Structure 1
Amino acid sequence: MSNPNSNFPLTLKQCRVIREIMKKGTEKEASSSLNLSQSSVSRALSQAEQALQVDIFTRGWSGAEPTSAGEVVISSCNSILQAISDTERQLQSNVTTLLKLKTYVEWRHLLIIEAVVKVGSASVAAQTLGMTQPAVSKTLKEIENMVQQPLFSRARRGLIPQTAAKQLASLFLRISPVAQSLQQSLQSLPNELTGRLSVGMLSFSCQDIVPIAFASIFKQHSGIRLQAMQGPYHMLANALRQGEIDCFLGLMRKGPIHPELIELPLLPAQYALIARADHPIHNDAKTLNDLVNERWIVARHGTPIRDYFESLFHSIDNKPPIQALEMLTFASSEELVIHSDAIALLFYDDWNINKLTPRLKQIPIPLPKPECTIGITLHRERQSTIIQTFIEELKLTIIDKLKTQ
């Protein structure tokens, strides 16, 4: 048997690499943790994906993220490597020298020692495995160096396995079925949508409809990994361009900043001035000029809502207030309005403005051209069935939401 590892879809080194990439998030960090070159780690991952004919990781917001198939592979790798660690811990109790089993052991080591334990002879084991006796003896010596204790004692009737050899043979019998059944486990994945759906959300946008759409997808397609994260426009746009996310939602601009991105409208909305319900501004203010000296809660610079905020004051020949508090989330902005004398410029779709909490109230001052649109930004060349499914779920969520007005 020229290559004992050929009986297994993954080498144990590949298992270690896959687990470490999952733990550390990048191949670079995994290579440092494993004390391997980054090229060696990349090669091991590539060979594992070729052997299994699946993508194990995809590039994500925070680094390498497992695909649905990758989750199955990682689960198997974790089971195998945990069993090896447990065995090493048992063997460590017999010696004071630090063992190296979990770092260096490969299938050939365990396969050979199980065969020798079974037949009680290195020469017979060599014949059974299609190897030479010197190759078997050399491998046994390698294992002894890893566990720092004798594996066999010699007797007239052959080799008598010691405790360490029995534990290693038992280890092989436990983990080899896990490895050998991996490809079958991958082939038996449900015939449904699988993969990752990673959605970005601009500040102040879509926090109510995305979770509902996610819940519906999760019920129908358990093989999809769902992710949502919040961030500013330029960060999400770059993440989308680099494939770290699949799309992002928020107020539409006058066009995306990158030609490879496209925007699709989803839901009409409008800008609104909001204050706490008992704020005297509701009775005292009649025009925008009456709001010049108020304290404001607004979105950050570079956002459509901030541009609209500044245009309001330019429209009445006033400079925008300098002392404005920037908030990153819709919920925190509303909560701050409730607990302060500040007023906020926010935007709402028809449903949300009608369901405004009783502790808040819209200031009755008409705004010039308050209409805006919530939309989804996509990569022009990276459309997928998963993304289209998400868009359809968003549209259904919006329809159901508007029915309850």
Structure 2
Amino acid sequence: MNNTMVDFPLTLKQCRVITEIMKKGTEKDASVSLNLSQPSVSRALSQAESALQISIFTRGWSGAEPTSEGEVVISSCNTLLQMMTDTERHLQQNVSSLLKLKAYAEWRHFMVIDAVVKVGSASVAAQALGITQPAVSKTLKEIENMVQQPLFLRTRHGLMPQEAAKQLASLYLRISPVAQALRHTLQSLPNELTGRLSVGMLSFSCQDIVPVAFASIFKQHPRIRLQAMQGPYHLLSNALRQGEIDCFLGLMRKGPIHPDLIELPLVRAQYALIARADHPVHRYAKTLNDLTNERWIVARHGTPIRDYFESLFHSIDNKPPIQALEMLTFASSEELVIHSDAIALLFYDDWNIHQLNPRLKQIPIELPNPECTLGITLHRDRQSPLIDTFIDELTLTIEQKLALA
């Protein structure tokens, strides 16, 4: 087919692939849903990204996640496919067998049927499109098989379009402008920070400052996609190394577990023993030895706070309690302390300890070396203006917060 055929930035197959990857989360699952091989799906996505000169998806925490430009592409693809679905639903009313328009139609099918509807002749349509008449006839047969009903009635005056052909030609007039506008829409995107910022959070860490920083970024840079998720250290470290997240926050250790990762300190904090405000422990506990028989709420094994908890009991030649209750979030730990007789080992910065829930109270026992540091872990080779912006917002949020302490 020569240049008289309309040039669309994406094929309809590519639109189907892009939409299905978004729905399923992976190319593998999309290939199963579309009944295509995984290499075919990967190739279609790669060709689409090459044609548009953008990245449509990035690797994310739960699979393929769209970039900011990808969101625009996906929206366009969804619109096209939804209009095809609506037309197919109308055509389905005329036949009992399942139609295959949305699954298999390509631009050439719509262009041919539109041309034949306009001129009433396969040969004239072929000439207008710059293709052969057999190619037009073959294409009409293909789409007729997709919709399972006649498209044209042959008369002495040429080919008379039937209702199905009219609906398909009308569909083409509606979807072609949407497809052709995609490149212009992408080129017209404002010149501002875009992309995905995916932040991991270790248990007990930074839940009060990340939302504030996110809100500020969202207000200033509305085209950034913001994500936050919680997980254990090794899981977040692997996700960061693989590019599934951009950074993660939490208590700093004695150094990252992999040379690809670096740590930046954000705010100083300190470990604290917390109990219910009316707990009897506040009256009799003077040293750690007075707490050996208490029930404890602590973070999971392998975390700095759990290591510190065990070191406390080793420092008084005592074994750590084996029935300690492990909690995964700061809020749930505080809530459990309020509603139980358990004691929690938590950590607070200056602001949070001054703003402690009035139903809670710090046990006034001096702890050895209680200082700890909250920080952000980054990939050494994957810095970006977006991550720099996030760090700046975190730093400002912390400064404003501590100024109120």
TM range (shorter): over 0.9
Q: Distance in 2 between matches of 1:390 and 1:223?
A: 14
Q: What residue is the counterpart of 2:9 in the other structure?
A: 9
Summarize deviations over 1:61-100 as a string: whole Å, max 9, x none. Answer: 0000000000000000000000111111100000011111
Change (3 A) 1:5 1:257: farther
| Matching residue of 1:198 | 198
Question: Could you tell me the TM-score, scaled by structure 2's length?
Answer: 0.99
- Give the superposition deviation at 1:156: 1.9
CA RMSD of aligned residues (A): 0.9
Aligned equivalents of 2:5, 2:116: Cα separation in 1? 17
* Cα shift readout 1:186-230 (whole Å, capped 9, x = no counterpart): 001110000000000000000000000000000111111000000
8 Å contact from structure 2 (residues 117, 165) kept in 1: yes
In 2, are the aligned partners of 1:5 and 1:11 still within 8 Å (CA)? Answer: no
1:33 paired to 2:33: yes
Distance 2:287 2:142 in 1: 85
2:52 maps to amino acid: L
Provide the residue aligned with 1:133 in structure 2: 133
Q: Percent identity?
A: 83
Deviation at 1:154, TM superposition (A): 1.4
Which residue is equivalent to 2:379?
379
Distance in 2 (CA, whole Å) between partners of 1:146 and 1:4 is: 25
Name the structure 2 match of 1:399.
Answer: 399
For the pair 1:92 / 2:92, whether they are aligned, the reply is yes
**Aligned twin of 1:341:** 341
Deviating above 2 A after TM superposition, structure 1's stretches of 4 or more consecutive aligned residues are 1-6
Deviations 1:323-357 (A, max 9, x none): 10000000000000000000000000000000001
Alignment of 1:259-278 (within 5 A): 259-278=259-278
Post-superposition offset of 1:28: 0.3
SS in structure 1 opposite 2:203? coil
Counterpart in the other structure of 1:121: 121
- Could you tell me which residue of structure 2 aligns to residue 50 of structure 1? 50
2:313 matched to 1:313? yes
Which residue pairs with 1:388 in the alignment? 388
The AA in structure 2 aligned to 1:236 is L
Tell me which amino acid in the other structure corresponds to 2:229. M
Q: Cα distance, 1:402 vs. partner?
A: 1.1
Query: 1:242-281, CA deviations, whole angstroms, 9 ceiling, x for partnerless residues?
Result: 0000000000000000111000000000000000100000
CA distance in 1, matches of 2:147, 2:360: 69
Amino acid of the structure 2 residue aligned with 1:379: H
The answer (yes or no) to whether the contact 1:250–1:376 under 8 Å persists in 2 is yes
Does the 8 Å contact 1:4/1:107 carry over to 2?
Answer: no
Who is 1:234 aligned against?
234
- Does structure 2 conserve the Cα–Cα contact (< 8 Å) formed by 1:99 and 1:148? yes
In structure 1, distance between residues paired with 2:5 and 2:288: 76
Distance 1:33 1:138 in 2: 28
Q: Separation in 1 of the partners of 2:362 and 2:156?
A: 95
Q: Aligned AA for 1:317?
A: D
How many angstroms does 1:4 deviate by? 7.8
**1:215 is matched with which residue?**
215
Amino acid at match of 1:15: C
Report the alpha carbon displacement of residue 232 of structure 1 after superposing the two structures with TM: 0.5
Counterpart of 1:9 in 2: which secondary structure?
coil
SS in structure 2 opposite 1:229?
A: strand
Aligned-partner residue type, residue 337 of structure 2: V
Provide the residue aligned with 1:302 in structure 2: 302
Cα distance change of structure 1 residues 3 and 20 upon mapping to structure 2, 3 Å threshold: farther
Q: Which moved more, 1:366-375 or 1:150-159?
A: 150-159
AA partner of residue 398 (structure 1): I
Once the two structures are overlaid, the 10-residue window that deviates more, 109-118 or 152-161, is 152-161
Counterpart Cα distance in 1 of 2:352 and 2:119: 75
User: What is the CA–CA distance in structure 1 between the aligned matches of 2:86 and 2:373, rounded to whole Å?
Assistant: 57
SS in 1 for 2:193: coil
Q: 3-state SS of the aligned residue for 1:259?
A: coil
Residues 317, 3 of structure 1: CA spacing in aligned structure 2 closer, same or farther, 3 A cutoff? Answer: farther
1:5 CA drift (Å): 7.2
Change (3 A) 1:116 1:94: same
- Give the 3 Å change call, closer, same or farther, for CA 348–5 of structure 1 in structure 2: farther
Structure 2 equivalent of residue 292 of structure 1? 292
CA contact (8 A) 1:5 1:107 kept: no
The structural deviation recorded for 1:2 is 3.6
1:56-95 → structure 2 map (5 Å cutoff): 56-95=56-95
* Deviation of 1:231 (Å): 0.4
Aligned match of 1:154: 154
* Secondary structure of 1:7 counterpart: coil
- What is the count of residue pairs matched by the alignment? 405
The answer to whether the 8 A contact 1:337-1:344 is kept is: yes
Alpha-carbon distance between aligned partners in 2 of 1:27 and 1:3, rounded to the nearest angstrom = 32
Shift, 1:34, TM fit: 0.5
Structure 2 unaligned residues grouped into runs of 5+: none
